[in-house]
């Protein structure tokens, strides 16, 4: 719950500890979601302490407390995505509390998750994607070979960064990788010949073991590479090339999807490659393609220009 947070009563602290253990044991739950949920609960409990005469007993907390907390956050500037994360975190915790017999008012589970308009994915154009990949290919030491391999998997195989960093050597099959995606669902993702070449170069230069159950992507201290290090490498490349701020590791996955769409791949196949549970999520990329086509028509077609 954070080193700087005030201590909570033992019964709540114990429940939170068991909840955290349960989340750690849940396959498919990312560290990002887990940390976000824990932060939401910590903020909620401190909100209750400020607005009640001390922290109420867990069974005395009700739906109105959650609604007041979310309203307070909205007035403080929380956007819809943040509101959704806080709501989901509290709902998850109180669902666990109910399973432990520690919940008083079950209506607290009926708080609706705030809906928010999903922004269109922002992909790189072909020229910027090639420039980014070329920059990473110029590396000399093993960490640069590692980063080049990672970027090739994001850009050329459409992996999420968490999926790529979760790969072990036994998942590498040369022409494809076995990926554990959201919801612990497995899928096979083809790799580019470039990725296969980079893998060979990386293994030869990496000082750490490449046994079947060892991670493919090592950090310099001999632990699995952390996402923030990979994100920093992409940010440095972005600044070096003068690319816009939306060029992140996840934008590389968007670029993979939109490139397939432009090449005429059907949505079902793209859905399978990306590991989307719903085709509606994949259809989101068609909006990107239409938006870019409209922009091109407006810019280049004689009747598309405004006088």
CATH code: domain of residue 58? 1.10.150.130
Is residue 59 within 8 A of residue 103, CB to CB? The reply is yes
Statement to judge: residues 273 and 192 lie in one domain: yes
Q: Is residue 118 part of a domain?
A: no
The CA-CA-CA angle for residues 235, 238, 243, to 5°, reads 140
CA–chain centroid gap for 283, Å, is 19
Across the chain, what does the average pLDDT equal?
Answer: 84
Whether 224 has a pLDDT exceeding 90, the answer reads yes
What span, in angstroms and rounded, lies between the C-alpha atoms of 291 and 299?
A: 12
Distance CA 30, CA 54 (A): 33
Residue 174: partners with Cβ closer than 8 Å, 6 or more residues away: 191, 196
Q: Lowest-pLDDT range, 106-120, 129-143, 191-205, 212-226?
A: 106-120
One domain for residues 289 and 177? yes
Residues 289, 163 within the same domain: yes
Last residue of a domain, one of 110, 142, 166: 110
Domain boundary among 65, 80, 110: 110
Whether residue 209 sits in one domain with residue 146: yes
**The pLDDT of residue 293 is above 50:** no
Domain boundary at 110, 141, 166, which?
A: 110
* Whether pTM exceeds 0.85: no
Q: Helix (H) and strand (E) counts for the chain? A: 12, 2
Q: At 148, is the secondary structure helix, strand, or coil?
A: helix
pLDDT band at 249 (very low <50, low <70, confident <90, very high): very high
Domain contains 71? yes
Q: How many domains does the chain have?
A: 2
d(CA 254, CA 241): 19
Tell whether 85 and 134 lie within a shared domain: no
CA max distance for the chain: 72
Out of 72-76, 106-110, 298-302, least confident range: 298-302
Asked if residue 165 belongs to a domain, the reply is yes
**Catalytic site residues?**
160, 182, 250, 253, 276, 285
- The DSSP code sequence of 286-301 is HHHHHHHHHHHHHHHS
Residue 276 falls inside a structural domain: yes
Residues 138 and 283 in one domain: yes
Query: Is residue 119 a part of any domain in this protein?
Result: no
The domain that holds 138 is classified in CATH as 1.10.443.10
Asked whether residue 163 falls in the same domain as residue 213, the answer is: yes
pLDDT at 185: 83
Backbone angles phi, psi at 265, to 5 degrees: -65, 145
Q: Is the pLDDT of residue 5 over 50?
A: no
Write down the pLDDT at residue 105. Answer: 64
pLDDT band at 289 (very low <50, low <70, confident <90, very high): low
Question: Same domain, yes or no, for 88 and 197?
Answer: no
Read off the DSSP letter of residue 7.
Answer: P
Is 240 in the same domain as 103?
no
pLDDT at 302 over 60: no
Q: Is residue 5 part of a domain?
A: no
Place of tokens 């001999």: 222
CA distance 199 to 145: 8
Question: Are residues 31 and 131 both part of a single domain?
Answer: no
Q: 84 and 142: one domain?
A: no
Other C-beta atoms closer than 10 Å to the C-beta of 97 total: 22
The pLDDT confidence band at residue 73, using thresholds 50, 70 and 90, is confident
Compare 281 and 293 and report the one with higher pLDDT: 281
By residue range, what is the domain housing residue 40?
10-110
Query: Do residue 97 and residue 206 come from a single domain?
Result: no
Q: Using CA atoms, how far apart are residues 225 and 229, in angstroms rounded to an integer?
A: 7
* Confidence band of 294 (pLDDT split at 50, 70, 90): low
Q: 115 in a domain, yes or no?
A: no
Alpha-carbon gap, residue 58 to 69, rounded angstroms: 15
Task: Check residue 280 and give its pLDDT.
Answer: 73
Name, in order, each residue with C-beta under 8 angstroms of 214's C-beta and a sequence gap of 6 or more. 168, 169, 208
CB-CB contact of 37 with 92 (8 Å): yes
Q: Rounded CA gap, 241 and 256, in Å? A: 20
């Amino acid at each position: 719950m954070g080193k700087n947070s005030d201590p909570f009563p033992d019964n709540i602290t114990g429940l939170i500890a068991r909840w955290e253990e349960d989340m750690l044991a849940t396959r498919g739950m990312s560290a990002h979601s887990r940390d976000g949920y824990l932060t939401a609960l910590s903020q909620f409990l401190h909100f209750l302490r400020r607005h009640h005469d001390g922290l109420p007993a867990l069974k005395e907390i009700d739906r109105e407390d959650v609604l007041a907390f979310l309203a307070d956050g909205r007035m403080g500037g929380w956007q819809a995505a943040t509101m959704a994360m806080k709501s989901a975190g509290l709902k998850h915790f109180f669902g666990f509390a109910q399973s432990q017999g520690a919940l008083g008012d079950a209506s607290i589970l009926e708080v609706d998750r705030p809906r928010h308009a999903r922004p269109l994915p922002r992909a790189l154009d072909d020229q910027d994607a090639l420039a980014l990949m070329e920059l990473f290919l110029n590396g000399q030491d093993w960490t640069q070979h590692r980063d080049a391999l990672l970027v090739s998997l994001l850009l050329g195989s459409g992996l999420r960064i968490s999926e790529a960093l979760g790969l072990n050597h036994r998942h590498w099959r040369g022409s494809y990788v076995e990926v554990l995606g959201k919801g612990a669902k497995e899928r096979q993702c083809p790799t580019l010949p470039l990725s296969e070449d980079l893998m060979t170069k990386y293994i030869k230069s990496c000082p750490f073991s490449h046994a079947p159950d060892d991670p493919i992507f090592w950090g310099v201290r001999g632990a699995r590479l952390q996402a923030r290090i990979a994100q920093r490498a992409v940010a440095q490349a972005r600044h070096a090339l003068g690319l816009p701020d939306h060029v992140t590791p996840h934008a590389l996955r968007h670029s993979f999807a939109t490139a397939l769409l432009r090449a005429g791949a059907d949505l079902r196949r793209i859905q399978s490659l990306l590991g989307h549970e719903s085709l509606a999520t994949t259809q989101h990329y068609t909006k990107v393609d239409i938006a870019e086509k409209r922009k091109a028509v407006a810019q280049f077609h004689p009747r598309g220009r405004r006088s």
